[in-house]
Structure 1
Amino acid sequence: MDFKIPYGRAGLEFALPDAQVLATLTSKANQFEPDKGQQDLVDQALANPIDSPGLSELAKGKDNVVIICSDHTRPVPSKFMIPPMLEQIRKGNSDANIKLLIATGFHRPSTEAEMIEKFGEEVVKNEKLIMHRSTNDEDMVDYGTLPSGGKLILNHHAVEADLLIAEGFIEPHFFAGYSGGRKSVLPGVASKETVLANHCGEFIAHPNARTGIIEGNPMHKDMVYAAEKAGLAFILNVAINEDKEIINAFAGDFKAAHKQGTDFVAELAGVEAVPADIAITTNGGYPLDQNIYQAVKGMTAAEATCKDGGVIIIAAECSDGHGGEAFYNTFLEAESIKEIRDEIASRDRTETVPDQWESQILARILDRFEVIMITAAPKKMVEDMYMHKAESMDEAIKMAESLLANDKPEITVIPDGVGVIVQK
């Protein structure tokens, strides 16, 4: 069987013996054929908002308008989304002061080149872009307490807006259930302290903090509360296929529009697990596979279909390396995976450290499986994090066979690990 899977910008091609491949788990989003083009889908959503007045109507009399925008780590097709949002706002109030607040969450700031690639040169040149930095206390406003007990501290540009709106995309998310909607606020424009409280070890370990689950998810509850307190009035979220093309769009009330979006994505993304000795996965290619930190998401899809003691192979370019100093150092400095898991489990909600959530999930995976990365990240870095590095799929398969002591292991392939909800 011949495969081409997402990897960086170019993709990765390889072949596997037919007899060993049990299944290929793919989202139906890749076969979904929308009845309109990308721009028309966005325009249609804006023209037919869900449980909300239109954006131009909301903008009337609102002088200070803030659009929360996704950052460089998200494949949101903002070039199709931001211009019509700006047009609608200015139709309602031609004098509105509009700011694009880049929701970096806990990520590094985006570069100008990344912003131009994402929004287009015209938007970057002519609009006011503000980079959220979660560690800049002077940019924050204390808004009380989250349902979980953590402090709710948000970027002042967001909470001081007369009209706060957000763009984003909806995909399965490995602990928030789905991306999009309320996540633009928390973690998007929240302080470091608030992100740490929400991403605590207790919540990450919760059985409902998993891909495709919102009901009973404690992280989601905090996120919705934060969005309400911030006054998030309107969202434009899209669903995309493996080519990062818009296949549907949802605009309006942040809860109602997000719900319609997650229902749509759930229908397409749900796949049944097919347990195998080896699970091959990806993190969806660029920009989602820029670092090891992000690549943990793709590993969770394989986690749901790999047999205990099996091998996960993930193809993730990771041109930016590990993606988080604290994340990397957690593994570099630990004597064992058990030490990492025990240390995180011992911490109270108020004692969460940066990148702990990613460390916790990767340690959970490594406790049950061997992980081989096909990656551009340095070999030492990968091995410091208790994983193996391979230069090609052929090498990865041979390595997996050696680890399993089995020269004909059964294989399940997940071409896009962040695009599916693997159901056991």
Structure 2
Amino acid sequence: MEQVHLKYGTSAVDFEIDGAKSVKYLYENKMRVIEDIKAEFLHCVTDGVIGTKPLKELIAPTDPVTIVISDMTRFWMRQDVICELLVKYLHDEMGVGYDQIAVVVALGTHRKNTAEDRRKLASEFVYDHVASVTDHDCDAPDLVYIGTTSFGTRVSVNPLAVGRKVICIGGTVHHLMAGYGGGRKSIVPGIASRETIRMNHERALDPEKPMTDVRVGSGLVENNPINLDMREAGAMVHVTFGINIVVDTSSRHSGLFCGEFDKAWQASCSYVQKGYGLPIDYQADVVIASCGGFPKDLNFYQSTKTLFNASRAVKEGGTLIMLAECPEGSGSKDFFDWIKPLSKGCLDEALRASFTIGGYIFYAACESIRRSKTLLLSSMEPELVRDMGVRSFKDMKDLLAEVDFNGKDVYVIPYGGSVLPQTKEAYERICREAEENGGAK
């Protein structure tokens, strides 16, 4: 009998696995922990910069500066710590006035933040000292058109990213659509128009078949049309400096990759793949995955990262159990709106006709759910996910009553939003691709 303890929202769930043939835990590979983040930051913006000059040589004391940071769904990377160090460095070491610094929260199409959210995201010090800490609005009338990519995407961005020195702070993780988060995603979707985001993200669908394009997926960058388009769009902003954060599953800073916008991001991708990409020998009969607790299971939209990752570890027709409290419900305004075309059997046709980000995440979630019997522990009402093929429970005992562990191979994934199970062949290929595109630090 195996005793299991998994995070769930701001609390935890304890239960037993009885009668299984095997129980194996899937964790990320051992990662370093930065003990002195201030010293690491100073090194990374001076002698340790990647592909460019030290930060001091890129920005003059008279330059207006815009710092782009991520929203609350990515607060696990503790960007507030880095943002505060950066602002103090700009002011104290480089002579940039606080009134010359603006911070923009890269919301993409996500919900607006409260003032308290923005204070938390940027840090109290930054919020109280800089000229402004504002949310990006993808529907704002003053967004600036800066060009069209070779893929045909019209790129319009927040005006604070034009005519100013731009520094982007992002967190690098595996990403379902873009291959990896961080880097150019601070621009698209982060501070781009809704039209730009839609034109980029709709490339997730196969151009001919009713399915996701096989070139799109976690860890895939080389031929991924979404990533390639994002990189072109990001380059149009002429970002002065990129700061890419990698954390371990306890949100402790593990890697800081700073310098030329694209090259520093590429180096962080290699580090992420080697840290969170996990080669597995086989797919299990039963996979139990927690998102890792708050804020990673804040809503179902964010929790689908765990669904996508964990579904790779379960056999076709096996059982996937996911723990995601989701106190905010879907988390995306239009996510569950797509249940209607799903129930009518026209989801692919409807999404192509009126593509949205939430719609595609819903589409991809349905693709993953179809692979296995999917059971969910959540505070959401079960009816919300029933038509997707998910059985949802509010009590773990009720959920486990539906599971037969006897003689089964079981994987337990405590941090499903971070750990990406991969066949050994896929792991080696993706590591090689990440190395060729940037190399480890």
Establish whether TM, by shorter chain, passes 0.5. yes
In structure 2, the CA distance between the partners of 1:94 and 1:145, relative to structure 1 (3 Å rule), is closer
- Is residue 178 of structure 2 the alignment partner of residue 176 of structure 1? yes
Q: Please list, as runs of the form range in 1=range in 2, the aligned pairs for 1:188-203 lying within 5 A after superposition.
A: 188-200=190-202, 201-202=204-205
In structure 2, the CA distance between the partners of 1:418 and 1:181, relative to structure 1 (3 Å rule), is same
Q: TM-score, normalised by structure 1?
A: 0.90
Q: Please list, as runs of the form range in 1=range in 2, the aligned pairs for 1:190-229 lying within 5 A after superposition.
A: 190-200=192-202, 201-202=204-205, 205-229=212-236
Residue 323 of structure 2 aligns with which residue?
315
CA distance in 1 between counterparts of 2:240 and 2:51 reads 11
Contact 1:171 1:418 in 2 (8 A): no
- Is residue 303 of structure 2 the alignment partner of residue 300 of structure 1? no
Q: TM-score, normalised by structure 2?
A: 0.87
Secondary structure of residue in 2 paired with 1:216: coil
Residue 65 of structure 1 aligns with which residue?
65
Aligned length: 411
Counterpart selection for 2:166 from 164, 167, 170: 164
Contact 1:173 1:211 in 2 (8 A): yes
- Is residue 13 of structure 2 the alignment partner of residue 12 of structure 1? yes
- Is residue 439 of structure 2 the alignment partner of residue 414 of structure 1? no
Counterpart selection for 1:268 from 256, 269, 275: 275
Residue 362 of structure 2 aligns with which residue?
359
In structure 2, the CA distance between the partners of 1:50 and 1:304, relative to structure 1 (3 Å rule), is same
Contact 2:341 2:350 in 1 (8 A): no
Secondary structure of residue in 1 paired with 2:414: coil
Q: CA deviation at 1:22?
A: 4.2
AA aligned to 1:86 is: V
CA distance in 2 between counterparts of 1:283 and 1:152 reads 33
Q: Which segment drifts farther, 116-125 or 80-89?
A: 116-125
CA distance in 1 between counterparts of 2:373 and 2:228 reads 33
- Give deviations 1:13-62, integer Å, cap 9, x for gaps: 3332373444221101xx43436333333333223211122222222155
Residue 376 of structure 1 aligns with which residue?
379
- Give deviations 1:392-422, integer Å, cap 9, x for gaps: 4443232244xxxx75543222221221222
CA distance in 1 between counterparts of 2:230 and 2:317 reads 35
CA distance in 2 between counterparts of 1:125 and 1:97 reads 14
Residue 136 of structure 2 aligns with which residue?
132
In structure 2, the CA distance between the partners of 1:35 and 1:228, relative to structure 1 (3 Å rule), is closer
Residue 99 of structure 1 aligns with which residue?
102
Runs of 5+ in structure 1 lacking a partner?
none
CA distance in 2 between counterparts of 1:148 and 1:294 reads 28
Residue 84 of structure 1 aligns with which residue?
85
CA distance in 1 between counterparts of 2:112 and 2:197 reads 16
Q: CA deviation at 1:186?
A: 0.7
AA aligned to 2:67 is: I
CA distance in 1 between counterparts of 2:350 and 2:49 reads 47
- Is residue 333 of structure 2 the alignment partner of residue 325 of structure 1? yes
AA aligned to 1:65 is: V
CA distance in 2 between counterparts of 1:297 and 1:156 reads 31
Secondary structure of residue in 2 paired with 1:11: strand
CA distance in 2 between counterparts of 1:313 and 1:62 reads 55
- Is residue 18 of structure 2 the alignment partner of residue 36 of structure 1? no
AA aligned to 1:40 is: A
Residue 396 of structure 1 aligns with which residue?
399
In structure 2, the CA distance between the partners of 1:33 and 1:223, relative to structure 1 (3 Å rule), is same
CA distance in 1 between counterparts of 2:34 and 2:192 reads 37
CA distance in 2 between counterparts of 1:284 and 1:156 reads 36
